[in-house]
Structure 1
């Protein structure tokens, strides 16, 4: 079994190829051509942390992947990253471990950011006036980096709980060529941006329906485990298109689950990203519609990003 560290993976991963792999994975998943066992989830409230174990095999692939991903959200105050983890790639023909990707959670973060990039490409309004970001952590940064590939907009409004973190994020965004406005008001983000990314570990709604202007696209990635929530369920119900990575997962957690549990929407209103990519589900029809991508993270993404990483590393 070969072992690759985070630096090796980052240096070699072909992001455009990764997008192709992820799109193929979403389509295979929606076609029922991927084995994705139930997620194992751990919660560590005393440490403000969580862990998930995900695994998947895409039909026709010579390998399958098992991934451990952790998020401990007080870590930055301790000088540690919020996210960590690893992926193990195993032969689907012999059962032998092929590679251990000691990516420290980076592959999980980048595959999530690339999913946001795919969703924005498919669902964002034709003219993005400003990008709104809720959050200042690793995922909030990666999402902004990846949006540069799908919109020419270079204005960003970012919300966070810490003034110091907002200043740091502003410097990061300006380094990417963005004109940046920082705010402690989520309403201020919603009223000034029509492409909003929610990337926090919040357990209570942050973004409310009354604040969101017609034509806005929202990508929500923070509610990736039970109990997490970033959107007002009324806002979810207001969306003209609700695109989810997995109908099953998003019916049990994620933003759609809260609206479902409140009786504000029905499961029939959810369409999977793979179906949208394949042309079996409608996307945005006009620039007055509100669109939502509810991305809880599907293990097929891990199988696809790990196979892309190995290809990029020459395996």
Structure 2
């Protein structure tokens, strides 16, 4: 006998009440997700490791009303299954348009669906802008917890946009002794807003240094965080050079970053990926950069360097291996560590599940009816 089906709708305010901004809980959720990832208790798109599927628009079209291509103009879906205590299927979807800001809207508007993995019954449909920002920042925080040096005091932020603010929450969660923040941004307005946010939320930070060059920001920094958006022209993406990096520093890339493969191959450099197999699947059949031994998106740079023979696959460690005790995090205070973070759909599922469970426990959200009895049987 068919049963009535309801699902829970969670608005952005509902999500906030349910604790979507709880960085400590989010980081714990991400660590559990990484352990399950390494144990193969997950599936992502395609054969199991794809980042997602996006729809790009043509540069020109004779079709009336057809949206045209411009940077960050796209629609995307990111499906995934995550096992363990989560055991749910989820789909994050979003539309992105840089012109949204002219309308007082975020550039990207995201939604998240949770489905029962056995029946496909929808369980929740929720606002996902904050969810997505938090899981991205939490992964950077997990990297800082396990890969940065004890006693870390100086943080460099290249790209002080909205995402960097959430990353600050994660960094200060695991390294509360950070007292100096060096900032390299494109606009004075963005830099000012970032500093105002930090002063309000992190009074322990004593020094802010606005830098005119990336090199200045990187030098003598214990953690170097790259959170810029991808440039339209390949060569205009930010880059980092070995001589800029302090011994023992952690470099975190959540966006495009240029570096030479010989730096990645250095014996004093450790390479850690969120999930290297995603970059392998992403890179299959992809035309690699014309500039040999130079990478753009850092995770893809790991893949490119392996394909070119510049580094051995065994040099790359996954975060799940570290959390499951199958590999070391930081070996000593001298090594430089690069962490590549490309965004995994299973991250969204993990944090969505925890927010959904909290909302149910707190009786937050709106119950919506799918059917009392399905018309199609």
TM-score, normalised with respect to structure 2 = 0.76
Deviations 1:139-178 (A, max 9, x none): 1111012111111112111111112211221222222222
Summarize the Cα distance change of 1:237–1:306 in structure 2 as closer, same or farther, 3 Å threshold.
Answer: same
In the TM superposition, 1:1-315 aligns within 5 A as 1-13=7-19, 14-37=22-45, 38=50, 39-43=52-56, 46-49=69-72, 50-60=74-84, 61-73=86-98, 75-76=100-101, 79-103=104-128, 105-151=129-175, 152-175=177-200, 176-177=202-203, 178=205, 179-203=207-231, 204-222=237-255, 229-234=256-261, 235-238=263-266, 240-251=269-280, 252=282, 254-262=297-305, 263=308, 264-314=310-360
Q: Is the CA contact (8 Å cut-off) linking 1:173 and 1:180 kept in structure 2?
A: no
Q: Secondary structure at the match of 2:332?
A: coil
The offset of 1:259, in angstroms, is: 4.5
Shift of residue 84, structure 1, vs aligned partner: 2.1
Q: Following the alignment from structure 2 to structure 1, what is the Cα–Cα distance between the partners of residues 342 and 100?
A: 22
| Mean Cα deviation higher: 60-69 or 207-216 | 60-69
Task: Write the distance in 2 (CA, Å) between the matches of 1:142 and 1:70.
Answer: 21
What is the count of residue pairs matched by the alignment? 308
Q: Distance in 1 between matches of 2:244 and 2:56?
A: 32
Between structure 1 and structure 2, the one with the greater Rg is 2
Structure number with the bigger relative contact order (C-alpha 8 A, sep ≥ 6) is: 2
Kindly indicate whether the alpha-carbon contact (under 8 Å) linking 2:78 and 2:345 is maintained by their aligned counterparts in 1. Answer: yes
Q: Distance in 2 between matches of 1:268 and 1:43?
A: 35
Q: If the length of structure 1 is used for normalisation, what is the TM-score?
A: 0.90
Once residues 99 and 210 of structure 2 are traced to their aligned partners in structure 1, the CA distance between those partners, rounded to angstroms, is: 22
CA distance in 1, matches of 2:162, 2:149: 25
- CA distance change for structure 1 residues 214 and 250 in 2, over 3 Å: closer, same or farther? farther
What RMSD in Å do the two structures reach over aligned CA positions? 2.1
| Superposed displacement of residue 114, structure 1 | 0.5
The superposition leaves residues 260-304 of structure 1 with CA deviations (integer Å, 9 ceiling, x where unpaired) of 424332322111111111111111111111011101011111110
- In the other structure, the counterpart of 1:226 is none
Contact map agreement 1:244 1:250 (CA 8 A) in 2: no
